[in-house]
């Protein structure tokens, strides 16, 4: 069999390597328009920050072997045509026209099976000055190298356009290198696709601590340079920022043109349509990675969520199906799971945000749960703020968001696994997870969050979110807020509200007479547990209007948590 693969970074090389393993006799040719192959683009932010010193590290195998064309030829049996562009696909003749950038020769290569792994490219705003030196997009190592060199030559000020995951990771790389850093975001919060507003609060706090200058609700309209064509100023709708570096990170769009011109079906997202085996509308042509759309595992709708791990999984599924293996030849879709690092903070998410779930018409509810990732007596215990969004009828998770200095990755992966296997909250609540104090609380954060959700879902607990409480206060509703923490905790930090009273939980029973029964009473503590217990106690004593503040003072103390979604 003769297999042609277009695109040599993640999906393409993965498919090539697996095809070679399954059917070593297959003739495999990989066409890549760039020079470099099979590099870890996801490592770019860490190279820019200086944590990875040599860019070649991003192109090596775990055994330290450089993944260049010799490696592919010698270890994987793949003929590499790099610096070669695929310019046309002819599905009728089963040929691909290629153009060799070095020799300027054009040629036609025939195939039995074709794999399109052309990836995506950064969305470029149509604004003046985009071509100035110092204005970058970051989707290849060449640009990353140029940027790193400019930083080493003493650049002082940088503007990042786009507050998504890449923007946040690059912000860390810049502040780590003492650059004056500005982040310009058109929406009113960063990471809006991944996080609901209240969960974004801690991220914003970290950015503020690092003195990242946030320009929310703001758009870049152009770049101004000097006579030598070097960037000097980034122009906003209102005002401008002096800078020598600008990074455009406003999203990725699929490289689907080649497929579209060959008459292959393109989805509404603009990416190539594929079936569960990753075959395009022509069964002899497969496509995978950032150039295709996927089915969302929660909604069942097509989505465009380009991710490196998905591209690698696609490569394997393509190889399995192409080589005739039934096992492992179906791709079930994506949850859009992602995890990012900003300093000591980890940010994870999977599935739908509450905003997306409600917009999609789900009858859903959500809980907020700030908790330590280990027992308090462990010196390494760190906080994780969690949000679970669940469907009321099916009792299944629709989405999760986690932000904190604790071990977010472990909880995110458990939750994403549960969502992939359609687990209910009831099943999550009794997961048999490993427990010892150095690793987790006796009831892991995931289990506690599931239990809090179940209490809410089953009407056992009666919670108000920070947004709901803030709305009631703003509306001038007559209510009482009772802080049930100890007096020492109350003296150290408390809400700034005229409706606030301190009644420690241990004294609540004795103070019932002083609590009005004719208005809402909101109990609160540090993270929610004592507030919940106080609320249950009040309800037990006939206070039908008692509620507890979800997430307690921990969530309330981020002003952003009080803003509606």
Closest approach, Cβ 121 to ligand FAD, in A, equals: 7
Closest approach, Cβ 87 to ligand FAD, in A, equals: 7
247 versus 397: smaller Cβ distance to ligand FAD: 247
Does residue 8 touch ligand FAD according to CB under 6 A?
yes
DSSP string computed for 326-373: -TT-----B---EEEEETTEEEEEEE--HHHHHHTT--EEEEEEEEES
Closest approach, Cβ 411 to ligand FAD, in A, equals: 18
Which of 5, 10, 236, 415 binds ligand FAD (CB under 6 A)? It is 10
Contact range with ligand FAD by CB under 6 A, out of 31-39, 148-156, 221-229, 497-505: 31-39
- The residues facing 80 across adjacent strands are 30
Nearest CA-CA partner of 291 in 309, 264, 311, 317: 311
Closest approach, Cβ 323 to ligand FAD, in A, equals: 19
Which region, left, alpha or beta, applies to residue 400 given φ > 0 means left and ψ of -120 to 50 means alpha? beta
Strands 84-90 and 95-100: antiparallel
Rounded CA gap, 401 and 565, in Å? 14
Which residue stretches of 100-220 are H helix?
141-152, 165-176, 201-209
Closest approach, Cβ 249 to ligand FAD, in A, equals: 8
Rounded CA gap, 19 and 315, in Å? 9
Cβ atoms of residues 437 and 374 within 8 Å: yes
Contact range with ligand FAD by CB under 6 A, out of 4-12, 100-108, 365-373, 533-541: 4-12
Closest approach, Cβ 295 to ligand FAD, in A, equals: 17
Cβ atoms of residues 107 and 18 within 8 Å: no
9 versus 366: smaller Cβ distance to ligand FAD: 9
User: 42, 200, 323, 364: which is the annotated catalytic residue?
Assistant: 42
CA distances from 429 to 8, 403, 424 (A): 43, 21, 9
Which of 41, 163, 333, 351 binds ligand FAD (CB under 6 A)? It is 41
Number of residues that bind ligand FAD (CB under 6 A): 33
> Quick one: which H or E segment has residue 466?
helix 466-474
Cβ atoms of residues 198 and 561 within 8 Å: yes
Q: In the Cβ-directed half-sphere of 560, how many Cα atoms lie within 13 Å?
A: 14
Residue 344 tokens read as: 């000591």
Which of 1, 2, 22, 42 binds ligand FAD (CB under 6 A)? It is 42
CB atoms closer than 10 angstroms to residue 219: 15
Please give the residues from 222 up to 281 whose contact with ligand FAD meets the rule CB under 6 A.
255, 258
Does residue 308 touch ligand FAD according to CB under 6 A?
yes
6 versus 524: smaller Cβ distance to ligand FAD: 6
Does residue 7 touch ligand FAD according to CB under 6 A?
yes
Does residue 515 touch ligand FAD according to CB under 6 A?
no
Q: What is the DSSP letter of 405?
A: S
Closest approach, Cβ 452 to ligand FAD, in A, equals: 30
Which of 28, 44, 262, 368 binds ligand FAD (CB under 6 A)? It is 44
Contact range with ligand FAD by CB under 6 A, out of 5-13, 72-80, 260-268, 357-365: 5-13
Nearest CA-CA partner of 554 in 306, 390, 368, 341: 368
Angle at 129 between CA 124 and CA 130, to 5 degrees: 25
Angle at 448 between CA 443 and CA 454, to 5 degrees: 135
Closest approach, Cβ 31 to ligand FAD, in A, equals: 5
Cβ atoms of residues 270 and 181 within 8 Å: no
Helix axis angle, 11-22 relative to 69-76, nearest 10°? 20
Please give the residues from 63 up to 122 whose contact with ligand FAD meets the rule CB under 6 A.
85-86, 117-120
Does residue 306 touch ligand FAD according to CB under 6 A?
yes
Contact range with ligand FAD by CB under 6 A, out of 50-58, 304-312, 429-437, 492-500: 304-312
| Interaction pattern, residues 167-206, with ligand FAD; x per rule: CB under 6 A | ----------------------------------------
Does residue 289 touch ligand FAD according to CB under 6 A?
yes
Query: Active-site residue 42, yes or no?
Result: yes
Rounded CA gap, 290 and 285, in Å? 16
Which of 67, 76, 139, 396 binds ligand FAD (CB under 6 A)? It is 139
11 versus 367: smaller Cβ distance to ligand FAD: 11
CB atoms closer than 10 angstroms to residue 96: 24
Closest approach, Cβ 556 to ligand FAD, in A, equals: 32
Angle at 345 between CA 548 and CA 139, to 5 degrees: 130
In sign, the C-alpha dihedral spanning 181, 184, 189, 193 is negative
Which of 3, 12, 404, 490 binds ligand FAD (CB under 6 A)? It is 12
Closest approach, Cβ 260 to ligand FAD, in A, equals: 12
Contact range with ligand FAD by CB under 6 A, out of 21-29, 39-47, 187-195, 225-233: 39-47
50 versus 375: smaller Cβ distance to ligand FAD: 50
Does residue 33 touch ligand FAD according to CB under 6 A?
yes
> Catalytic positions, please?
42
State the residues that interact with ligand FAD by CB under 6 A: 6-12, 31-34, 41-42, 44-45, 85-86, 117-120, 138-139, 166, 255, 258, 289-290, 306-309, 311
């Amino acid at each position: 069999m003769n297999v042609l693969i277009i695109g040599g970074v993640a999906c393409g090389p993965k498919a090539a390597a697996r095809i070679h393993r399954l059917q070593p006799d297959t003739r495999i040719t990989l066409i890549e328009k760039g020079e470099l192959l099979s590099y870890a683009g996801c490592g770019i932010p860490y190279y820019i920050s200086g944590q990875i010193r040599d860019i070649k590290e991003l192109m090596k195998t775990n055994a330290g072997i450089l993944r260049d064309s010799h490696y592919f030829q010698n270890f994987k049996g793949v003929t590499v045509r790099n610096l070669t562009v695929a310019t046309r696909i002819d599905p009728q003749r089963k040929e691909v026209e290629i153009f060799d950038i070095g020799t300027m020769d054009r040629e036609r290569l025939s195939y039995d099976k074709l794999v399109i792994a052309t990836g995506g490219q950064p969305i470029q705003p149509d604004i003046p000055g985009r071509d100035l030196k110092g204005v970058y997009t970051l989707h290849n190592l060449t640009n990353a190298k140029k940027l790193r060199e400019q930083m080493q030559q003493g650049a002082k000020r940088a503007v990042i356009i786009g507050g998504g995951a890449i923007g946040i990771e690059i912000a860390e790389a810049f502040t780590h290198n003492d650059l004056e850093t500005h982040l310009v975001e058109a929406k009113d919060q960063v990471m809006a696709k991944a996080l609901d507003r209240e969960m974004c609060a801690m991220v914003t706090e970290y950015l503020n601590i690092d003195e990242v200058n946030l320009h929310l609700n703001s758009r870049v309209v152009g770049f101004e340079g000097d006579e030598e064509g070097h960037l000097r100023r980034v122009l906003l709708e209102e005002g401008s920022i002096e800078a020598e570096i600008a990074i455009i990170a406003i999203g990725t769009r699929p490289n689907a043109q080649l497929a579209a011109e060959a008459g292959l079906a393109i989805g509404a997202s603009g990416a190539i349509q594929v079936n569960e085996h990753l075959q395009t509308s022509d069964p002899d042509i497969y496509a995978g990675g950032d150039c295709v759309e996927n089915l969302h595992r929660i909604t069942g709708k097509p989505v465009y969520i380009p991710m490196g791990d998905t591209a690698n999984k696609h490569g394997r599924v393509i190889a399995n199906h192409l080589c005739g293996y039934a096992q492992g030849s179906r791709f079930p879709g994506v949850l859009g799971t992602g995890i990012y690092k900003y300093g000591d903070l980890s940010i994870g998410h999977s599935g739908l945000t509450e905003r997306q779930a409600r917009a999609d018409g789900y009858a859903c509810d959500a809980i907020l749960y700030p908790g330590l990732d280990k027992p308090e007596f462990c010196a390494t215990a760190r906080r994780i703020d969690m949000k679970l969004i669940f469907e009321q009828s099916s009792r299944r998770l629709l989405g999760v968001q986690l932000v904190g200095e604790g071990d977010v990755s472990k909880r995110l992966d458990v939750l994403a696994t549960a969502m992939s296997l359609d687990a209910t909250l009831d099943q999550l609540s009794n997961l048999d997870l490993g427990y010892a104090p150095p690793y987790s609380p006796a009831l892991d954060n995931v289990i506690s969050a599931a239990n809090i959700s179940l209490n809410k879902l089953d009407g056992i607990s009666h919670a108000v979110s920070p947004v709901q409480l803030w709305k009631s206060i703003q509306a001038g509703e007559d209510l009482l807020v009772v802080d049930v923490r100890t007096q020492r905790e109350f003296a150290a930090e408390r809400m700034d509200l005229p409706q606030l009273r301190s009644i420690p939980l241990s004294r609540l029973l004795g103070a019932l007479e002083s609590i009005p029964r004719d208005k809402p009473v909101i109990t609160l503590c540090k993270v929610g547990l004592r507030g919940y217990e106080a609320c249950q106690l009040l309800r037990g004593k006939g206070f039908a209007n008692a509620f507890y503040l979800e997430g307690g003072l921990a969530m309330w103390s981020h002003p952003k948590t009080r803003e509606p979604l």
